[in-house]
Amino acid sequence: MGGLVCANLLSKKGQRVLVLERQHQPGGCLQSYRRGTMMYDTGLHYVGGLAEGQPLHDIFKELGLLSLPWQRLDPEGFDRIMIGNHEFLFAEGFDCFLATLAKDFPEDKESLRQYVSLLQCTDEEWMQKTNAYTYLSSIIHTPLLLSVLSGACLKMELRRQTLPLFTYVHGNAPFIQSSWRLKGDGNMLVRKLIENLSAQGGELICDAEVVELVEREGIISKAVCKSGEVYEARYFISDAHPSITLSLVKESQVLKKIYRRRIDSLENTNGMFTTQLLLKPNEVPYFNYNEFLYDGYEAWDGRGYMVSCRVPEGDSHYARQIDILTPMNINECSAWINTRCMHRGEEYLRFKEQKAQECIAVAERFLPDLHSHIQEIHTSTPLTYRDYNLSPDGSAYGIRKDAAAPLMTVLSPRTSIPNLLLTGQSLMLHGLHGVTMTAMYTTREIIE
C-alpha cells in the first residue's frame, strides 16, 4: 500500500514513476490469493475514518479509492468485545461510543469521558513519549473496562512495556468515527491504484526483485534486479523493511555502520496466525461487525482472537468466508525457520491444523457449532508473511515502537543517502491508515 500510494501521488504531480515489485502479484498485505473459485484476503479486514471530514476521506478521494464498494459496519456495534460470557459493543461516533459503554460501566462514566477526549487529542509529541498502558491505567481504574476498551486492538501489538499512546490512539480513533468493509477482495484496491498509476503515465513491473542499490558519489545511481535488469532514477523509494532496504546498499560512503547497526537492532512486532474458513452456502448468517474474543479477562496478555466476516456477494444474507486471527510469535514456528513456503513438511501442516482447530473452538463461543458449517480451511503463520512480504520475524506491524525511545524507533522517511527514501508500516504508523499517511510524508520529501 505504501509504495503504491507514493507512486500514485508522485505521478499525479507529474513525476515519471516506475514501481518494481518482487512478487508475481503486487499489493503486499493488500493482495488476495485464489483457492479454487474463491479469493482470500491476506491483510485487509476493515478500514476506519472514510466518511467526509474523517482522516482517510480526502486522501482516498484523491486516490480514487472512495469509488470502490465500501460497506459501513453496524453503527450500533461495529466492533464487539466478548470477555468471559459478556459482550460489549463499540458504537460509531464518540458520543454514542461513550453512551453505549456507560450502560455497562455506569460508575466509570468520567473515565470514559477522559478516554474519548484522549482519542481526539492531537498532541503527537506528548503521545509518542507516553506509555499507553501506564497512561490508560491512570485514567481507567476498572480493570475490566480497560480490557474492553483495548479489546479491539488486535490491529496493533498490545505490549505493556513499549506501546506508545500515539500508536494506540491512531489505531483506535478512526474506527470509532466510522468503520467500513470492502464488498470484494483486497485486490480491488490494488487494481484501482495500478489503474490510476497507469493513467497518470506511471508503470509497474512484477517479478522484478531488486537485489542491489548501487551508490555512486554519495547517491543511489541505479537499482539492480535479480534478472540482471538495471534501472536508473533521480529518487529511490523503498517500501521494504528498513533493515532489508539498507542491506541492498552493499557499499556506501554515506551510510555509517552505526546507523546500519541501529536499524538492524530494532525489534519487530509479533506476527499473526490466520485461519481462513470457506463456509457451506446458506448456513451461517452474515454479521456486519467484528467480534473479538478473549480467553480470560485481560486483553493485554496477547491471547485475543478477532473474527471477521467477508461481505457476501450479490444479495445473499449468508456468509461464505470468515477469518480468525490471533497473535503469534515467530518462535512458535522455530522448527521450520529455515524452510520456505510449500516446502515445510507434514509436521508443519499438522501444527497449523492444530492451531486452526484451537481458533475455531474459540470462535464457537460466538458462533456455536461453527465446525459443522466449514467447507475448507486455509491457514498462514508468521513464516508465510516473512517469505511473501520480506517481513523480518513475520512481523504483522513492522518495527516495534517504544514510548521510552521514540527517537530510536520512529523513523524518518529520509536516510543519510539524499535520494534514498523509506515508506511503509515500519516508519511511523502501520495499517491502511498508517501507511497511507506515511506515504504522504515520504512524497513531500520530493514534491515540496
**pLDDT of 399 over the 90 cut:** yes
Per-residue pLDDT tens over the stretch 147-183: 999 999 989 999 999 999 999 999 999 999 999 999 9
Residue 414 DSSP label? B
**pLDDT of 351 over the 90 cut:** yes
For 341, residues 6+ apart whose C-beta sits below 8 A from its C-beta are: 383, 384, 387, 388
User: What is the average per-residue pLDDT within 366-382?
Assistant: 97
273: part of which helix (H) or strand (E)?
A: strand 271-279
CA distance 95 to 119: 12
| Percent of the chain at pLDDT exceeding 90 | 91
Per-residue pLDDT tens over the stretch 117-156: 999 998 889 999 999 999 999 999 999 999 999 999 989 9
CA distance 237 to 250: 17
CA distance 79 to 172: 11
- Which pLDDT score, from 0 to 100, does residue 115 have? 98
pTM: 0.95
The residue ranges of every structural domain in the chain are 2-33+186-266+405-447, 72-180, 270-392
- Which pLDDT score, from 0 to 100, does residue 196 have? 97
Q: What is the CATH number of domain 2-33+186-266+405-447?
A: 3.50.50.60
Per-residue pLDDT tens over the stretch 102-111: 999 999 999 9
Cα-based distances in Å from 399 to 68, 104, 334, 432: 30, 36, 20, 16
Average pLDDT, the chain: 95
| Percent of the chain at pLDDT exceeding 70 | 100
**Alpha-helical segments (H) within 120-256:** 124-128, 132-139, 143-149, 165-177, 187-199, 242-247
Per-residue pLDDT tens over the stretch 192-228: 999 999 999 999 999 999 999 999 999 999 999 999 9
> The C-alpha cell of 69 is what?
464498494
